[in-house]
Amino acid sequence: MKKLFFLLSIVALATLELNWPPALKFFYCQPDLLLIFSLALVFYQDFKTALFFAVLSGLIKDVFIPQTLALNAICFGVFSYALYRLRRQISTDEPYVRWGIVFLVTLLTNIILGLQILATGVIISPVIFLRNLIITSVYTMLLSPLVFKFTKKISA
């Protein structure tokens, strides 16, 4: 039953992420809710379930963003595994540690996606690239406690 709730949560978060209200966009940037959800599952579920839904979240995101060539699925899976390994080494009970982890993972994901877009030949201004990199990462970090609470509720 929990797995069905996780699947419905992924659909709901993907819909919300694709139809993010324009009034909540900050400098035309929006948070990466599916990435937060896939990271939160690592904290509240066993690793196999978290990895499966992380890759599924990445695939769903890749379906609606055709320029990334399944890069989100790979990134979500790799970062879920890395967080699982990191979680066994350090204490991640403090919210500030989780915020830092979400910020770093979002920053790395945006760097990888930005470099992939640049590799395809699309010319992006460095200012726009940095704006999307930093503001999206901070915005995602600031909304992460809400998604973490939501994930904790449906995991219990």
Residue 104 has what pLDDT?
Answer: 95
What length does the chain have? 156
pLDDT of residue 86: 92
DSSP string, 34-82: HHHHHHHHHHHS-HHHHHHHHHHHHHHHHHH-GGGTTHHHHHHHHHHHH
Please report which confidence band the pLDDT of residue 68 belongs to, taking 50, 70 and 90 as the band edges: low
Q: Residue 130 and residue 135: Cα distance in Å, rounded?
A: 8
Each residue of 8-43: pLDDT tens digit?
999 999 999 888 888 888 888 889 999 999 999 999
State the pLDDT at residue 52.
Answer: 95
Summarize pLDDT for 110-143 with one digit per residue, the tens.
Answer: 999 888 888 888 888 888 888 888 999 999 999 9
* Per-residue pLDDT band at 148 (split at 50, 70, 90): very high
Average pLDDT, the chain: 90
Residue 37's alpha-carbon distances to 123, 124, 129, in angstroms, are 31, 29, 24
* pLDDT score of 1: 79
Task: Provide the percentage of residues in the chain whose pLDDT is more than 90.
Answer: 60
**Position 67 pLDDT exceeds 70:** no
How much is the pLDDT for 75? 92
What is the residue extent of each domain of the chain?
A: 2-21+29-155
Q: What pLDDT is attached to residue 84?
A: 94
Residue 52: CB atoms within 10 A of its CB come to 17
